[in-house]
Amino acid sequence: MIPAPDRAFVSALCLARAGLMVDAEKAYLIESRLSPLARRECFSSTEAFIDALRHGADDRLAWAAVEAMALPESEFFRDHHVFAQLADEVVPVLARSRGGEPLRIWSAGCGTGQEIYSLAMLLADVPGLGKLELFASDLSERSLEKAQSGRYSQFEVQRGLPARMLVRHFEKDGEFFALSPRVRQMVRWRRVNLMDDLARVGQFDLILCRSALGQLAPEAGGRVLGQLHAALAPGGLLVLGQNDSAGKAFVRAAPDLSLYAATDDVARSAA
């Protein structure tokens, strides 16, 4: 078992770099996430890897450890009703309100890409939306590499992907299923730490952040919500996870969906 001081060090490292809340008591979780990384980097043990981090190993290794601990839950069409409502109602309304301007959508904390690809597959078949600009970001470079490849295992496609979507948008590629170039090319990817200044990412009409907030410490979560508020274009909407709190900067925009509008937008509309 990883010694308690080492677990506490990993927890503090993740909090400082990414606002990530890692329970130092969960020895198995820390071991299971870091041991593959330690082996890949040719350390004799997870403890030796953590010791190297503690004594000033290069910055790349420190970020690799944080990224390994930040792996979000990724599956196709998680909470299927969310995607149905976005494609059938939310996105078409937003597209009409933009008067022909490109509609910008961002999946923040996208993991290995299943969330944004789920939405892209649905939107590819919706007529009259005009130009869509789909973006996806994650803290983990390895997750982004997998997402961009569009290749998923049998287990991964069985988690939520309807059979008709599998047949229509994927081809068998050895032991994997490869997403069609048409859908893959709809999405642009970027590594983003949500704790950083997000001004450089621009503004978006729809932001999905359904996996990241639940992993963050409360103070970090509040900071990220403030950043997402600033990244919403006027009239834009934010989609959170079912158990996420939106704070005072947002107000629920749909009674049966974790969909939020900026509070100041609502105030201006009511004026």
| Domain ranges across the chain | 4-69, 80-270
- The answer to whether the 4-69 and 80-270 domains have the same CATH topology is no
For helices 59-69 and 141-149, the axis angle rounded to 10 degrees is 60
CATH architecture label of 80-270: 3-Layer(aba) Sandwich (3.40)
For helices 46-54 and 4-18, the axis angle rounded to 10 degrees is 60
Mean pLDDT (the chain, rounded): 93
For the chain, give me the number of helices (H) and strands (E)? 13, 10
Exposure string of 98-120, with b = 16+ CB inside 10 Å and e = fewer, is beeeebbbbbbbbbbbbbbbbbb
Within 108-159, where are the H helices?
A: 114-123, 141-149, 154-158
pLDDT at 72 over 80: no
So what's the pLDDT on residue 1?
83
pLDDT band of 110, cuts 50, 70, 90: very high
So what's the pLDDT on residue 269?
57
Query: In whole angstroms, what is the distance from residue 81 CA to residue 154 CA?
Result: 23
Q: Which residues contact 149 (CB under 8 A, 6 or more apart)?
A: none
Query: In whole angstroms, what is the distance from residue 84 CA to residue 170 CA?
Result: 20
Topology classification of domain 4-69: Chemotaxis Receptor Methyltransferase Cher; domain 1 (1.10.155)
pLDDT in tens, 167-190: 999 999 999 999 999 999 999 999
Measure the CA angle with vertex 225, ends 149 and 114; round to 5°: 20
pLDDT at 166 over 90: yes
Q: What is the dihedral of CA 88, 91, 92, 93, to 10 degrees?
A: 110
Q: What would the two tokens of residue 209 be? A: 């952040």
